[in-house]
Amino acid sequence: MNPNRWFNLPDMREKRNGPAAVCLPGDSRVFVFTGSNGSYLASVEFCRLETDWEEATATSARTADFWQAAAPMRTARYAPAATLFRGRIIVAGGENLRSINGGWSRLSRLNVVEMFTPPDASCPLGHWTELTEMKQDRWHFTLLTSADAVFALGGSWGMHDCHPLVLHSFSLIHALLHKAHLKRQKNNSICL
């Protein structure tokens, strides 16, 4: 493959603005999470960019053959951040609408963090697990991983404000143990 070319892929199943995306190295799958198409999305799609993906897209350029649906997120959102960590994908923050007194809605920034276990033979759509929330709500920001921690960097409070460049971190191991202790229900990580 020539590294100095752009290629068109088949259209996704759903149009989306402001999604997050992660590629699994050595696995060839690219996952695209949430976004907005006039309403906030919880949907997840993925494709395989294997060595012969250029040839595959030329012969089967249909969306249904190229993009596959995965388990939807628990919280619909726009402009989240995502990162790969130990074979799982962390998606955090973003924004969505919140109802006020059952009537008007307003934008709500999110501090929600979810972990995605990609699809495999035992769970063909993958599954989501809720993690400990971030201390501060964020959207349009970056997630970084290092050792056993995920760091949230930057982000926006509104149209003209930005979070200071401060790292907020949480231990995934602690977060998972804490959630497992609080939620010993089987439906917390059900395969769909």
For the chain, 192 residues long, the average pLDDT of each consecutive 10-residue run is: 74 95 92 95 92 60 82 96 93 83 72 95 96 88 85 71 54 53 43 40
- pLDDT reported for residue 104: 57
Structural domains in the chain, CATH included, are 20-189 (2.120.10.80)
- Between β-strands 142-146 and 20-23, what pairing exists: parallel, antiparallel or unpaired? unpaired
- pLDDT reported for residue 9: 84
- pLDDT reported for residue 116: 97
- pLDDT reported for residue 192: 38
Contacts 24+ apart (CB under 8 A), 125-129: 125/69, 125/70, 125/71, 125/191, 125/192, 126/44, 126/70, 126/71, 126/191, 127/71, 127/189, 127/190, 127/191, 127/192, 128/71, 128/73, 128/74, 128/189, 129/176, 129/179, 129/188, 129/189
- pLDDT reported for residue 5: 79
pTM: 0.79
